[in-house]
Amino acid sequence: MPRTTVYIEDELYKKLVEESIAKYGSTKHLSKIINEKLIIAEKLSKQKRKKSLPIVSIGKRINWKFVEKVVEKEIEKLWKE
C-alpha cells in the first residue's frame, strides 16, 4: 500500500482521532478510518453522478412553473444528502 503525507485541517484531524480512539482504542488505526471515509465519499460521489434531473419535453407549450418546481425539488434533495 502506498504511503504519502497529507495535510489535514486541525478540526478535521481532531474528529478523526476521536473516531479512531472510540472505534479502535488508539490512533494506530487512523489510516483505516481515513480510508473508510474516502471509500464512502467515493461511493456517494458515484451515486450523485448517476442521478439525473427528470427529462422535460420541450414542445410548443412549456409549463415553466412545473419545470422550476422540479428543478427546485431536485436541488433540495441533493442538499439534504
Q: CA of 34: how far to CAs of 7, 30, 38, 46, 63, in Å?
A: 12, 6, 6, 18, 47
pLDDT score, position 56: 57
- Tens place of pLDDT for every residue, the chain, 81 residues? 788 888 989 999 999 999 999 999 999 999 999 998 888 888 887 776 666 555 555 555 666 677 677 777 777 777 776
Q: Are 58 and 28 in the same domain?
A: no
pLDDT score, position 10: 93
| Spatial distance between the Cα atoms of 17 and 32, rounded to a whole number of angstroms | 11
Considering its fold, how many domains does the chain have in total? 2
Q: Are 56 and 36 in the same domain?
A: no
Residue 81 CB partners (closer than 8 Å, separation 6+): 44, 48
Which structural domain, as residue segments, surrounds residue 25? Answer: 1-50
The position carrying cell 487512523 is 30
pLDDT score, position 14: 92
pLDDT score, position 22: 93
Q: Which three cell numbers stand for residue 19?
A: 473516531
Q: Are 45 and 73 in the same domain?
A: no
Q: Are 63 and 80 in the same domain?
A: yes
Q: Are 45 and 56 in the same domain?
A: no
